[in-house]
A and B are shown apart, each in its own frame.
Chain A
């Protein structure tokens, strides 16, 4: 029986965690975070139209992997160095040293570690498979036009001028230019997850 076609496109390869691995997939209108143990998969969907922002924070992933590869390479390198003075170079130490050095180089080329979080109106979900800043930026660059398209029908708050006062913006704090002869408006900044200001009703 042929494989079942799926509407999902893979954005990231599997990223290993503790006992599980996660990946990020893209459908026409939503992102899917897949967490798998190899025998069971769980799915978390994030609608593209609900994505308010993405946070990227630094992590120490590259450092820890550097330490791990260094732990492999350093003792093997020491043994190799000692063995080179002898008649026959130690084979296993050479192999482990080369593996360790290759791992260190690969870890460095992957870039700095990061954690990515997607902010919606009701939650902040971690994109657990985005663990390197270079990959995260590539994925975000892929998503940006899709997010703009998915959110094109949303209404941006409009400044409504009232007589003798500055335009008011709901949900925004706007720094005014010196040319604007108006006092700063009172800004209402709703917390993430709180309902937005009342939009024009749909007729």
Chain B
């Protein structure tokens, strides 16, 4: 009668293809006659598949992460370039348009015939008005040369001084659209804010894949990964806002609720709200080289916490309580002053019950 451990080794050998031909044939004969062995073998095989699947999911997420890192870099560069171009074009437009209306209009000035030059004097200061552009946070004042509709031909002497507009910029806050229901994967655009004729954005169904990665407890290590933009017209820009409506980068995020504004080339927009970045206990492996003076650094305690380090025999090797504001660190030395190489497991317990654990390999 084969014992349990030997049976386990046989099953593992069979599944991994490491049995000899003779062993394999004997095992298969036993397998065909023993339903219990069949079930154990199937279960063992399923658990191997589960481990592989888990690893493959990790790789799938890693590929998305690498893709996001590369494309976010390109987007940020593109955003910066686009922002610069818009700033230059905007400044040019403001300087060139001579109007005091709320809507900026370009006023054509026709050159008079050389035989009948007409010169229009500037408007007295008392009649000058400030121009204000609604919908933005800028306002500017300028002198205008008012050209009446009847004066279709008018010239301005080349050397006539023109005042430059003074543009005061204030902080621009994002305009939030109506909140929409967040979907777990693809997001369809059901309500858009469009700055161009409504029928164009009505046909633009902006979509994107949004993945959130939880951060570690007591750390800002959360991420929001956005990819696969579709609908509307490329290129797309995306801005991420925290709960205080401040623009933030999509990594090193603390746990919380975020919003994402997607804009396409036609300025059709989609705001996605309620994106949750959670926090979790990160299983992290650390290595300490005590010769180099490495320390296990677990951040600053945001509340009272206790750090326990266990050796492979599950005995407490190190224990310390940290108060709020203290650095949570361990230098690899036991509570009794011993210094050993080896593999340890740490447990960091916070006053509110949250727990973080991981492993530490100490060597010197």
A binds B: no
A→B interface (CB under 8 Å): none
